[in-house]
Structure 1
Amino acid sequence: MATRDPITCHVLDTVKGRPAKGIPCQLFKLDDRTLEFKSVSTAVTDSDGRIAKWGTPLAEITASTGRVVGGCYKIRFDTLAYLTASTAHSGSTKNAFFPFVEIVFLVDNPADGHYHIPLLLSNYSYSTYRGS
């Protein structure tokens, strides 16, 4: 059994300089026929700000090899509750400019073994890159 799913994510709070614990996230895959994103799974970031295993198995988007099927994916990070609850962010919605962040990314076919999506988050900005 794999210790992590083939798509993982990590949220770092750049104001506090710490992992962002407790952010609800949802993974989607674009349906090539309808051109709509379909929900695949959900999870919440752990104490290290990571999601290594999603709430539901990713069998729907993995081939028999365990690799992700190629296509367009999206992770939605619901950041509002985290930003308003955090004392470093003044506990006010006026300090939460981005109520959610959606990161859309492409998976090649055949896919590489692992896709890691880091999110660097603050009240008024965010940044991302392809992690390892």
Structure 2
Amino acid sequence: MDQPGFDYHIDIPGTTLFDGKQAMKGYALNKMCYAFNKEENRNAFKADEEAFMEQYGLNNTQKQAVRDRNVLAMIEAGGNIYYLAKLAGIFKLSVQDVGGQQTGMTTEEFQQHLLDQA
């Protein structure tokens, strides 16, 4: 049971937990992704990714993760998957593409993994 003022951290190997510390770390990245709710911002990003990332103050780690289209690295850099989904959409990445990245599988391997679980 949670107690006020009690700080705890659950360690799940290979998992980046989105907590207050991660939220602070990823503020600029998440703010940028939130901006993609507006079509003009999506278009501005597509026109000049570097300038758009600079405008929102992404750090070098976050910028490189975006350049690499690496959602897992974006999560490690403080990205919230719900905001990152907006960015993944711009990159034409499906939920299964992202699932593959998160599990270290190709999209096809991840799709087969899902089918094998059915």
Scaled to the shorter chain, the TM-score interval is: under 0.3
Per residue, is there more strand in 1 or in 2? Answer: 1
User: What TM-score, normalized by structure 1, do the two folds share?
Assistant: 0.23
User: What TM-score, normalized by structure 2, do the two folds share?
Assistant: 0.25
